[in-house]
Structure 1
Amino acid sequence: MVRRALGLRVGVVGCGVAGLAAALALARRGHEVVLLEAFDAPHPLGSGLLLQPSGLAAMRALGLREAILACGARVDRLEGYDLAGRTLMKMAYATWRRDGFGLGVHRAALFQVLFDAVQAAGVEVRTGAEVTGFDGLEAPTLSDARGRSHGPYDLVVVADGSASTLRARIRPQARAPVYPWGAVWVNARDEGGAFAGALAQRYHRAETMIGVLPIGAAPGGPSDLVSFFWSLPVTELEGFYTGDFAAWRSRVLSAWPAVEPIVAQFDGPAAFNRAIYRDVTVGRWCAGAFVLIGDAAHGTSPQLGQGANLGLIDAVELAYQVAEPSDLPAYQRARRLQTGPYQLFSRALTPLFQSAGPVGPFVRNWLFAPFSQAPGLDRIAAATLTGTFRLGPTPWELRP
């Protein structure tokens, strides 16, 4: 096929991390991009997140690495202990590379950095545009819940998250069941810096997981924030909000007394947000002019902390590799060399940290923990942590 001399007309559905990054990367490659957002005012959803070296490389490719470094908090290691004080997870970025690190970021800060760049790149942002249908797979016109039409587009990038409403229309065989375990989370001050430098977690078997991630600054806010999260079965989420908050706080402090300055900042559950995760299985991500990216294509549980990172990489590689819809199958094959292994890793590891019964914690404590910390194997674990594992060469623009 002869490639177009001019750019494509591109519609990007979803104003999350992957959608914003895709809109920005495609616009900078000379395409005419319209970003369609369901909400009347674009805003971030979700807790703080951990940008791995792979995600930071994608931000560098977008020209935004320094901007996000100025907002976030450096993370040098991940550490997890059970209630008896035994080390169950200990991974240092320096094991991967001497100068390696992750970056904890407030999701609103990442959103603002990307959104400002999207606007500066001349991307048209249409709000209140909840896309509900389209008129065909080739050069489609999209329709929204308000009866408006958008398009036609040469390429449609679907980045509306793990609960995507378009995915089933494009790939009817796709599946996205909710994980049985979710979490409640809240952002708080860490004025003394007690949790600086590490993603720290505490476990009681695999039924209780408490975590604290330093995330730096919120837009226009303090710079010493952390994200605090407590995992629990999805069936118990509602009970958290209607239950005895004082009893819950006592339970937290008995498991991890050091988080008292964090939980003391809240008088009740109303300040906490709920998080639900999906295990997305799509098969082919593309059909005609459509392509799924980010969590809409390969969402998993958050155990490996790779969701935003993979979405950013999806966006950068899409812009570099796709000049026509006919390039989409080759793009997906290349991306699956990375997203496929991480989906498998996530499915394997999730029961070790979030499950009922003795099997998960037994495997974690006596197999996963010692093997992941053994000389030589610790480097493999660190490479997996950093998001750089891939069954093939990494494109030069994305090399950390």
Structure 2
Amino acid sequence: MKIAVVGCGVAGMAASLALARRGHQVVLLEAFTEPRPLGSGLLLQPSGLAALRALGLADPVIARGARVDLLDGRDLGGRPIMAMRYADWRPDAFGVGVHRATLFGVLHEALAPAGVELRTGVEIVGWESPDAPRRIDAAGGSHGPFDLVVIADGAGSKLRGLVRPRARAPVYPWGAVWANARDPQGVFAGALTQRYDRASTMMGVLPIGRGPTGDVDLVSFFWSLPVARMDEFMTGDLAAWRARAQAMWPQAAPILAQFESPEVFSRATYRDVRPGGWSNGRFLLIGDAAHGTSPQLGQGANLGLIDAVELAERLTPQVAKSVRGYQLARRRHAGLYQFISRWLTPLFQSDGWLGPFVRDWIFTPGSKAPGARQVAALVLTGTLRLGRTPKVLRP
């Protein structure tokens, strides 16, 4: 089949690779003249690593990233709020913190050898002939026809509404600013570490390996704040902010000292994507375009990778029928994580006392209940699913 994939992000490149290796003719269309990664670091779970393994790319990502064995979240007094260990799922399990540019580079380098045709500087704005779709770009150019069009242009997708006119994707009121820093002594190695001041302030450090340059161990630092206050942060007194953050988390002082101006931070906003369905005839949404959510469970890139591999597994010449079956299976997985993330978000990012009260009441004593750690680890690893996991995606 001839397939168009729109969006040269994680999900788009992974889908292009998985489909091309199944013998399909794949054209990857990207609006930017030079594709580039957006964001700082991300955490790959065992489920996402299984998808990379199916693509033959897990080893280089693991080698360039940083092993993560637990998530350690505490209040400002040092009291454990959230403690989730991969070993509670399997003794040899782990996650991998990785620079987004590293993951992007590994996927991008594999495109040409797999036979994927990459067309850059092509902003798709619509299509014609739905039964044999031709893509129309902003310059009036036509691409196609295609047997299937896969839309992977992210949570802020401009094409989602053309596939699912009633789709909703409101921006979360809370987001975060991110920046990378050096951690040559490995103070933050082995864990995603977070600190909470109620739910109004959350900050964390994620080890991400040596990054694209490969010269020193890096971490990604994030600071949660309302989207409405991001401009204030970017133009504010960084020294005053640094003093506040250091007083809240003295251990992070060597990281905070490296941030010399607000310009080193990148903004991250999130959407609660609810398209209703993911497909319409020969058009299919995947990745954040289909199920974007908040980052509380650290599953965004993982779900996109799984989408890609599972699509290639399930796609048949009966395109519309196989796409419908695919989305039913995937929505039982991704929808579950959307639901949990939607429920968790106000417990970690909100004003007032109710969210953190509920969080502390549930998580701290709840972690001691029989089987609770195992259930938490199942959620953390991305392996919680209603229905069968395809053999190729089993960690």
Q: Does 1:281 align with 2:281?
A: no
SS in 1 for 2:199: coil
State which of 374, 378, 382 in structure 2 corresponds to 1:383: 378
Q: Does 1:193 align with 2:171?
A: no
Q: 1:223, CA displacement in angstroms?
A: 4.0
State which of 125, 135, 149 in structure 2 corresponds to 1:132: 125
Which residue pairs with 1:247 in the alignment?
240
Structure 1 pair 342–375 and aligned structure 2 pair: CA distance change class (3 A): same
Which residue pairs with 1:159 in the alignment?
152
Output the amino acid matched with 1:96. W
The 1-side partners of 2:273 and 2:129 are apart by: 24
Q: Does 1:60 align with 2:53?
A: yes
SS in 2 for 1:70: helix
Q: 1:152, CA displacement in angstroms?
A: 0.9
Q: Does 1:340 align with 2:313?
A: no
Which ranges in structure 1 are unaligned for 5 or more consecutive residues?
A: 1-7
Q: 1:85, CA displacement in angstroms?
A: 1.2
Output the amino acid matched with 1:39. F
State which of 347, 352, 358 in structure 1 corresponds to 2:347: 352
The 1-side partners of 2:174 and 2:120 are apart by: 32
1:296-323 per-position Cα deviation (integer Å, ceiling 9, x unaligned)? 0000000000000000000000001012
Output the amino acid matched with 1:251. R
Q: 1:373, CA displacement in angstroms?
A: 4.3
Contact 1:91 1:373 in 2 (8 A): no
Contact 2:211 2:217 in 1 (8 A): no
State which of 241, 251, 256 in structure 2 corresponds to 1:258: 251
The 2-side partners of 1:136 and 1:371 are apart by: 55
State which of 358, 362, 365 in structure 1 corresponds to 2:360: 365
Q: 1:40, CA displacement in angstroms?
A: 0.5
TM superposition score normalised by structure 2: 0.98
Output the amino acid matched with 1:161. G
TM superposition score normalised by structure 1: 0.97
Output the amino acid matched with 1:156. V
Q: Does 1:314 align with 2:329?
A: no
The 2-side partners of 1:363 and 1:118 are apart by: 46
Aligned residue runs from structure 1 range 92-171, under 5 A: 92-171=85-164
Output the amino acid matched with 2:380. L
The 2-side partners of 1:19 and 1:261 are apart by: 37
RMSD in angstroms over aligned alpha carbons?
Answer: 0.9
State which of 230, 240, 260 in structure 2 corresponds to 1:267: 260
The 1-side partners of 2:172 and 2:341 are apart by: 12
Contact 2:184 2:216 in 1 (8 A): no
Q: 1:65, CA displacement in angstroms?
A: 1.1
State which of 1, 5, 12 in structure 2 corresponds to 1:19: 12
288-297 or 211-220: which moved more? Answer: 211-220
SS in 2 for 1:98: coil
State which of 375, 391, 395 in structure 2 corresponds to 1:396: 391
Contact 1:159 1:295 in 2 (8 A): yes
The 2-side partners of 1:224 and 1:355 are apart by: 32
Contact 1:38 1:127 in 2 (8 A): yes
Contact 1:176 1:280 in 2 (8 A): yes
The 1-side partners of 2:78 and 2:67 are apart by: 25
Which ranges in structure 2 are unaligned for 5 or more consecutive residues?
A: none
SS in 2 for 1:77: strand
The 2-side partners of 1:151 and 1:222 are apart by: 43
SS in 1 for 2:308: helix
The 2-side partners of 1:24 and 1:150 are apart by: 20
Q: Does 1:237 align with 2:230?
A: yes
SS in 2 for 1:119: helix
State which of 297, 322, 339 in structure 1 corresponds to 2:290: 297
Structure 1 pair 148–258 and aligned structure 2 pair: CA distance change class (3 A): same
Output the amino acid matched with 1:335. R
Aligned residue runs from structure 1 range 175-194, under 5 A: 175-194=168-187
Which residue pairs with 1:5 in the alignment?
none
State which of 44, 64, 73 in structure 1 corresponds to 2:66: 73
Structure 1 pair 227–173 and aligned structure 2 pair: CA distance change class (3 A): same
Contact 1:46 1:275 in 2 (8 A): yes
The 1-side partners of 2:202 and 2:8 are apart by: 30
Structure 1 pair 373–311 and aligned structure 2 pair: CA distance change class (3 A): farther
The 2-side partners of 1:371 and 1:209 are apart by: 21
1:141-163 per-position Cα deviation (integer Å, ceiling 9, x unaligned)? 11111221111110000000000
* Count, aligned residues: 393
Which residue pairs with 1:4 in the alignment?
none
The 1-side partners of 2:387 and 2:56 are apart by: 25
Which residue pairs with 2:325 in the alignment?
330
Output the amino acid matched with 2:392. E
